[in-house]
Chains A and B, each alone.
Chain A
Amino acid sequence: MLRIGSLFAAIAAASLLAAPLHAQELTGTLKKIKDTGVVKIGHRDASIPFSYLDDKQRPIGYGVDICMKIVDRIKAELKMPKLRVEFVPVTSQTRIPVLTGGNIDMECGSTTNSVERQKQVDFAPTYFVTGTKIIVKKGSGIKGYDDLKGKNVVFTQGTTNERAIKAYNDEKKLGINFIPSKDHAESFLSVETGRAVAFPMDDILLYGLKASARNPDDYEVIGEFLSDDPYAIMMRRDDPAFKKVVDSAVTALYKSGEINKIYTKWFQSKIPPKGINLNFPMSEGLKEAIKNPNNTGVGPCGKMKC
């Protein structure tokens, strides 16, 4: 009896190892993708170089490339080489409800992994590390956050940067006049046209906006980091099977070193639509995140207490 029992156990274990997806029913997002034959990816309009539109208005970027690697993994797992990809535009405000509502399966943009958002969604391992700074016009006299006292500052609604600058404003009682805006390009335009003196955003996105501006030399990115912002791909919560596929695809990119190629393509080479090169070497923070993949979130108020 004992022998037969252990034999059964061995067979069961072997079959589980050999074909984990066949052994159990598909659930959650994977089942949905299998049933519909479509994987829906949320993308941004102007998160350069993570997720933005090229001159043919197609979504491209570092995040989009990584997501396409994940799609390859999903195709392999589901044995569906002809899986279709559908891109859905999202904004900082709509990305979470659109994801939880099932209109996209993952968001490949510039989303900070925060503990607040973790109550709503799940995150893949961090794929970029940045933080809040501000962009201003050269010669505007703004040298740091405290110079913003009583000035017009534009922010993108629904971002962690909004919270960081508001927390700073409350703490230092600066009396900043805030102008809400819908996306990064519109916010930057407010600085360009002089409506606002500064735009707080993740520094990498500010460099991206600066580089694609009509006169890049007119702007500078200044300030100490007001918050830490680890970026990650967003997916629905409580879907371990899907999360496992996504995580393993991302981790595989890190292990194989392929991530370096993708990084170089978007941060250290010429990128569409205007052929600019951001010349942004990989930070120590990102190197660490690649060495030890993790999805640790950050608090809600940047470096201020709240």
Chain B
Amino acid sequence: MFSQFDFEVIRDSLPYLWQGMQFSLGLTLLAMAGGIVLGTVLALMRLSSLRILSWPAGAYVNLVRSIPLILVIFWFYFLIPIAIKHLSGNPYASGIGPFYSALIAFTMFEAAYYCEIIRAGIQSVPRGQVHAAYALGLNYRQATTLVILPQAFRNMLPVLLTTSIILFQDTSLVYVVGLTDFMGAASKVARRDGRLVELYLFAALIYFILCFTASYFVRRLQQRITPPR
């Protein structure tokens, strides 16, 4: 079969595949940024002593973490527009577009996972640091943003980045709603030209190179920032 391997089909579709890759990378980076911000908020809520904050955050995180990403994508892709219409009372409200639907779905989904990492990161900061911060006269906001979070993020950076590599892999699932990310572009060319073998193996290779390289650098980083024992 490899004797019939057609490299031209890959070469000819490179610009289109690159467009798809930009979609994937853009979605990954934005969802990562949004997910970490929202995840931090959720983590602080979960760690709060106020049940009115900790309970809803905990319920949200546990619910999202127990359902498949594809189901979450369907939920947001099909139902957010309907929700917007009901909330705005305008039956012709403009949808937010496929990219933003996917972005919201991934942000909301990943936030639950980032939350748990960040929570562990915050808990890994020795209790004494908090007491010291308060003893210095810092208030809750100052202690959190100046003392706890910087140390927590430093500890959990490798795990956050590893999760983001998985997020990059997971963006391929927008395929289920027909969007043109890298995998979507590859499969559209594959099916139109009947070249599944070439395109899918090529996609696998590209994902492998990107993710393997990224994981390698994360490992290096981890070794560098691990405090000497």
Using a CB–CB cutoff of 8 Å, the interface residues on chain A facing chain B are 27-29, 31-32, 35-36, 45-46, 52-53, 55-57, 88-91, 93-94, 97-98, 100-104, 182-183, 185-186, 189, 192, 212-214, 236, 238-239, 273
Contact = CB atoms under 8 A, between A and B. Distances in A.
Given A46-B192, A192-B194, A102 B95 contact: yes
Interface stretch (B31-39, B77-85, B129-137, B164-172): B77-85
Contacts of B82: 100-101
Given A57-B16, A102-B92, A236-B92, A45 B188 contact: yes
A202 to B, nearest CB: 18
Nearest to A185: B191
Interface of B: 12-13, 16, 19, 77-78, 80-82, 84-85, 91-98, 101, 176-180, 185, 188-189, 191-192, 194, 196
Nearest to B176: A182
A32 B92 contact: yes
Contacts of A56: 16
B194 A189 contact: yes
B12 A55 contact: yes
Contacts of B19: 57
B191 A103 contact: no
A88 B94 CA distance: 14
A239 B92 CA distance: 9
Nearest to B177: A94
A89 B178 contact: yes
A214 B194 contact: yes
Contacts of A213: 194
A46 B188 CA distance: 9
B24 to A, nearest CB: 15
B94 to A, nearest CB: 5
A97 B77 contact: yes
21 contacts: A31-B92, A32-B94, A45-B178, A57-B13, A57-B16, A89-B98, A89-B178, A94-B77, A94-B178, A97-B78, A97-B81, A98-B98, A100-B82, A101-B95, A102-B92, A183-B191, A185-B192, A214-B194, A236-B91, A236-B92, A238-B91
Nearest to A237: B91
Given A29-B92, A97-B77, A103 B192 contact: no
A88 B95 CA distance: 12
Nearest to A30: B92
Given A57-B189, A91-B178, A102-B85, 8 more contacts: A31-B92, A32-B94, A45-B178, A57-B188, A89-B178, A89-B180, A98-B98, A101-B78
B94 A102 contact: yes
Contact of B84 (A36, A102, A104, A189): A102
A103 B98 CA distance: 7
A55 B11 CA distance: 12
A103 B97 contact: yes
Most buried by A among B12, B94, B177: B94
Contacts of B178: 45, 89-91, 93-94, 182-183
Contacts of A46: 191-192
A139 to B, nearest CB: 19
